[in-house]
Amino acid sequence: MRTPTGAGQRTATLSDVARLAGVSIATASKALNGRRQVKAETRAKVIDAAERLSFSPNALARGLLAGRTGTVGLLTSDLEGRFSIPILMGAEDAFGSGRTSVFLCDARGDAIREQHHVRALLSRRVDGLIVVGARPDPRASLGPDLPVPVVYAYAPSESADDLSLVSDNVGGGRMAVEHLIACGRRRIAHIGGDPTYGAARDRTVGVLGALADAGLELAGGKPFYGTWSEAWGRGATRMLLEQTPDVDAIFAGSDQIARGVLDALHELGRDVPRDVAVVGFDNWEAMAANARPPLTSIDIRLEHLGRIAAQRLAAAIDGEPTSGTEVLPCRLITRGSTAPQT
């Protein structure tokens, strides 16, 4: 039976349960919340009644009283969700089985919309906020005056008073090159992404560090910067091979760039990984795993980032705030595009 509102049965309240069980509201509450000041028999009666009415406590009323809602806001600006979704999933995981739910709001890179969402979330009395930036560069802080703790993930806050969690792009770049060196490569080039991104420059820093440690120089003489696209990966590769034909490895600034690199190498008749090894960045499964050959890539572990963000936020909500920027390590995922040189 449906009511005219399109909804099923009206939700039962605690007083319905109490009435059905023949006890007071207070007793029903205690019974359901596992308080021990209630006779086992009574408790059973109440629980039975609650089940029969499929009672579910009103979190609003509860939150009103407790001053906590078990609710967290995730504010993103990442249109496609490529970054925020894994972060969200990690966060959901860490918050554990349903004690905390997540409001996801997309500001679409618009400051006005962001303010708007912040207000909406605060009026819903979220216990805290996770802010995921549109790109991994520092972004404006939401300010120090919010009534709830905030964790910035992926993109750090510009303010050192905030807590920010970011991926270790320097370490990631280093890791890629160290892997290539371990595979026996010596003529290693780097085709980076958009140089206006700090992440692109950081990765280069790692690249140069690892090369220096091994007493090597960057093949091609300098990093190549362009855009985060396959087209750039193709173009840069052609340019690179023309001027430096003896390259035996290319570290690409993203998996999309790497796809372009693979394409161009294929066209130029270079075998991957025999002639040239390739490493990507992001470990974007759909891109990396379906490449030919499958692409070795640096995984920035966004789910892990989300998990840590949730942990830090939970700690802050419980009165143990932290601040500063935490840099989380990347991870190498080895696939067919690199292989030890025999």
Interaction site with a second copy (CB under 8 A): 2, 4-11, 54, 56-61, 63-64, 69, 71, 79-82, 85, 88-89, 92, 97-98, 101-106, 108, 116-117, 119-125, 144-149, 229-231, 234, 256, 259, 263, 285-287, 290, 292, 316-317, 319-321
Write b or e for each residue in 76-99: b if 16 or more Cβ atoms lie within 10 A of its Cβ, otherwise e.
Answer: bbbeeeebbbbbbebbbebbeeee
When asked if residue 121 is in the footprint of DNA (CB under 7 A), the reply is no
* Residue 177 contacts residue 206 (beta carbons within 8 Å): yes
When asked if residue 64 is in the footprint of DNA (CB under 7 A), the reply is yes
CB of 43 to DNA, least distance (A): 7
Q: At what angle do helices 40-52 and 25-32 cross, to 10 degrees?
A: 90
When asked if residue 274 is in the footprint of DNA (CB under 7 A), the reply is no
Contacts of 209 (CB under 8 A, 6+ apart): 170, 173, 174
Pick the binder of DNA from 4, 6, 8, 67 (CB under 7 A): 67
Give the one entry of a second copy, DNA, none that residue 119 binds, where binding means its C-beta sits below a cut-off of 5 to 8 angstroms depending on kind.
a second copy
Contacts of 328 (CB under 8 A, 6+ apart): 165, 166, 167, 168, 301, 304, 305, 308
Give the phi and the psi of residue 52 in degrees, each rounded to 5: -60, -35
Nearer to DNA, 38 or 276 (CB): 38
Q: Which span (8-16, 92-100, 154-162, 275-283) binds DNA, by CB under 7 A?
A: 8-16
Contacts of 278 (CB under 8 A, 6+ apart): 249, 250, 251, 252, 258, 261, 262, 265, 272, 295, 296, 337, 338
Give the one entry of DNA, a second copy, none that residue 37 binds, where binding means its C-beta sits below a cut-off of 5 to 8 angstroms depending on kind.
DNA
Q: Which span (40-48, 79-87, 312-320, 325-333) binds DNA, by CB under 7 A?
A: 40-48
Pick the binder of DNA from 3, 5, 37, 54 (CB under 7 A): 37
CB of 61 to a second copy, least distance (A): 6
> Could you identify the residue written with the tokens 């760039």?
257
CB of 159 to a second copy, least distance (A): 12
